[in-house]
Amino acid sequence: MTASTELDPVIHAQARLRVMTTLATLGPRDQITFPRLQQLLEMTAGNLSTHLRRLEDAGYVAVDKAHSGRTPVTYVSITGPGRRAFEDYLAKLRELLGGSTP
């Protein structure tokens, strides 16, 4: 019982939950630049970097360093396993709340 409803600790933290929600809400294969992501989350760059690293280590997000001309641009996206983990997390939240659908 507890094992089946245990929430993924990588996602279950306010900042990372908001990051995952934001990435999952974009189009299926969309990538977003670091500054725009930061703006949508209203987080500091340092704070966002820390949480992105944790999510990247878990394989939930991909960080892609590209170039736009000579300027480096960092693109962030949710991975397939990340999306599945996020969906599982939401399903467990609903289960904990007694199966009520939002």
Among the listed residues 77, 92, 70, 69, the one whose alpha carbon sits nearest the alpha carbon of residue 24: 77
Among 58, 62, 63, 93, binds another protein (CB under 8 A): 93
User: How many degrees, rounded to 5, is the angle at CA 24 between CA 26 and CA 54?
Assistant: 125
Q: Scanning residues 16 to 75, which ones bind another protein (CB under 8 A)? A: 17-18, 21-22, 25-33, 35-37, 39-40, 75
Among 7, 58, 62, 63, binds another protein (CB under 8 A): 7
86/75 Cα distance (integer angstroms): 20
* Phi (first) and psi of residue 33, to 5 degrees: -70, 155
Cβ proximity to another protein, 50 vs 75, nearer residue: 75
Instruction: Enumerate binding residues for another protein (CB under 8 A).
Output: 7, 12, 14, 17-18, 21-22, 25-33, 35-37, 39-40, 75, 90, 93-94, 96-97, 102
